[in-house]
């Protein structure tokens, strides 16, 4: 079978989606499945929808087109502020988009009028991540402009956490977002259908017993795909962490002499050289590299360690291996490694368990991490 490849266990993705969405449903929070890490792969997106997601969210219009071309008719929201050059396509392919700039919203409104439709607008508010977002003091003014603008409709507000800053949201942040939702409605007289509290980093808050207030939506990708809390990396109880496996092929085995530290001049190689060699070291070279994935995001198999990587070679040191040339090695990936591998043209995707399964067993057991979930 061709390598490198990613093996995708669709039944595990469906299970993860059903598990976390079922728990959030009891709190009055729905889930929008984020497919950007898998480049809008339609079959993986369908697994999210099978698990109960009310719609899909994407950051790139090329991925949205892929979903639509595959016959996806569910609501799709663009969660990165649209570019001015793509407003016509955004209106064509997406029911709703997240926005921060009134100039872009004005262009979306004009595009919607040309298409004879109404495009939904969710305003992103800056709540501490220091990435995209309208400052809270300016929200009422911009919201009123959207309400008064033909061609668009104010559908809600949202916030983002733990992406640029890495700081998880807390109850005070969510309370503040609920207050902003109420204030915006009071100022504009327009009911907000969606108050989106954030992403997978919000799960400890959402299922931790705090009042949810006005928050009625979360945008979940990493939690569904990888079964982990993105901030701590801990497994979410009862969810799979191995729905995706990266498979690479060994192209050389043997021993190499020790590397002399004084000969290392490349700062990138210094950073990658994680397993020092002493005397003779048994090493494996695999046909995959930095062009294919984030090598720091790979979990090494037992008794194997990362020595280094170049653009198309992964070098692993091993203390016990029966691997030979042509054999395969399997790696679990974090979110960064998954995103890069899914977008790499030479990494193929193999889909497993396409049909929904009535009985799904958690092979790694109901994890004890994030027990509140």
pLDDT of residue 125: 97
Give me the mean pLDDT over the 195-200 stretch. Answer: 96
Q: Please say if the pLDDT value at position 360 is more than 90.
A: no
pLDDT digits (tens, 9 = 90+) for 323-349: 899 999 999 999 999 999 999 999 999
Share of residues in the chain with pLDDT > 90 (%): 81
Residue 273, pLDDT > 80, answer: no
Render 28-45 in DSSP notation, one character per residue. Answer: T-EEEEE-GGGTT-HHHH
Average pLDDT over residues 252-266: 68
Per-residue pLDDT band for 168 (boundaries 50, 70, 90) equals confident
Cis bond leading into 4, ω under 30°? yes
Residues 205-220 have a mean pLDDT of: 96
Average pLDDT, the chain: 90
Three-state DSSP at 129 gives coil
> Is the backbone of residue 217 left (phi > 0), alpha (psi -120 to 50) or beta?
beta
Which whole number is the average pLDDT over 355-373? 42
Pairing of strands 328-333, 298-299: antiparallel
Per mean pLDDT, which range of 4-18, 164-178, 181-195, 264-278 is the poorest?
264-278
Distances in Å between the Cα of 295 and the Cα atoms of 61, 178, 335, 364, 370 are 27, 40, 12, 24, 27
pLDDT exceeding 70 applies to what percent of the chain? 89
CA distance 342 to 367: 26
Range from 54-58, 160-164, 309-313, 327-331 carrying the lowest mean pLDDT: 160-164
Q: Which CATH class is domain 9-226?
A: alpha beta
Q: Quick one: pLDDT at residue 258?
A: 66
Q: Residues 74-82: what's their mean pLDDT? A: 98
pLDDT for the residue 359: 37
pLDDT higher than threshold 80 for residue 204 = yes
* pLDDT of res. 266: 55
pLDDT (0 to 100) of residue 366: 37
- Side-chain half-sphere CA neighbours of 240 within 13 A: 22
* Ranges 77-86, 246-255, 272-281: which has the least confidence: 272-281
pLDDT at 275 over 70: no
pLDDT tens-digit map of 135-162: 999 999 999 999 999 999 999 999 999 8
Torsion of CA 91, 95, 101, 102, to 10 degrees: 70
C-alpha 151, offset from chain centre:
30
- What is the reported pLDDT for 271? 53
Which residues lie closer than 8 Å to 348 by C-beta, 6 or more apart? 2, 4, 5, 6
Q: Where are the domains of the chain?
A: 9-226, 244-333
Which pTM value belongs to this model? 0.90
- Looking at residue 255, its pLDDT comes to 84
């Amino acid at each position: 079978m061709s390598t490198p490849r990613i093996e995708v266990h669709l039944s595990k993705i469906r299970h993860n989606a059903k598990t976390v969405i079922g728990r959030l449903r009891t709190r009055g929070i729905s889930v929008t499945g984020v497919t950007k890490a898998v480049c809008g792969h339609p079959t993986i997106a369908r697994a999210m929808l099978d698990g109960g997601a009310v719609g899909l969210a994407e950051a790139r219009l090329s991925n949205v087109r892929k979903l639509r071309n595959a016959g996806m008719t569910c609501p799709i929201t663009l969660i990165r502020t649209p570019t001015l050059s793509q407003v016509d396509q955004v209106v064509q392919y997406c029911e709703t988009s997240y926005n921060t700039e009134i100039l872009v919203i004005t262009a979306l409104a004009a595009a919607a009028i040309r298409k004879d439709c109404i495009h939904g607008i969710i305003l992103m508010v800056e709540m501490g991540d220091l990435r995209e977002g309208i400052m809270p003091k300016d929200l009422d003014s911009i919201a009123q402009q959207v309400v008064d603008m033909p061609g668009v409709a104010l559908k809600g507000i949202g916030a983002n956490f733990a992406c640029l800053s890495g700081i998880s949201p807390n109850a005070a942040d969510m309370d503040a977002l609920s207050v902003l939702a109420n204030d915006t409605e009071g100022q504009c007289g327009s009911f907000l259908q969606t108050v989106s509290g954030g992403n997978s980093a919000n799960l400890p808050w959402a299922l931790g017993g705090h009042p949810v207030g006005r928050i009625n939506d979360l945008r979940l990708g990493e939690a569904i795909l990888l079964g982990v809390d993105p901030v701590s990396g801990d497994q979410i109880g009862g969810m799979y962490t191995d729905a995706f496996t990266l498979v690479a092929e060994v192209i050389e085995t043997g021993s190499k002499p020790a590397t002399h530290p004084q000969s290392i001049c490349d700062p990138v190689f210094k950073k990658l050289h994680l397993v020092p060699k002493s005397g003779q070291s048994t090493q494996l070279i695999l046909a995959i590299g930095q062009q294919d994935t984030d090598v720091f995001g790979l979990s090494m198999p037992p008794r194997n360690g990362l020595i280094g990587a170049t653009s198309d070679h992964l070098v692993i040191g091993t203390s016990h291996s029966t691997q030979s040339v042509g054999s395969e090695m399997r790696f679990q990936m974090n979110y960064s490694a998954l995103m890069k591998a899914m977008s790499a043209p030479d990494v193929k995707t193999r889909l497993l368990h396409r049909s929904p399964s009535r009985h799904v067993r958690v092979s790694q057991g109901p994890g004890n991490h994030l027990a509140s979930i």
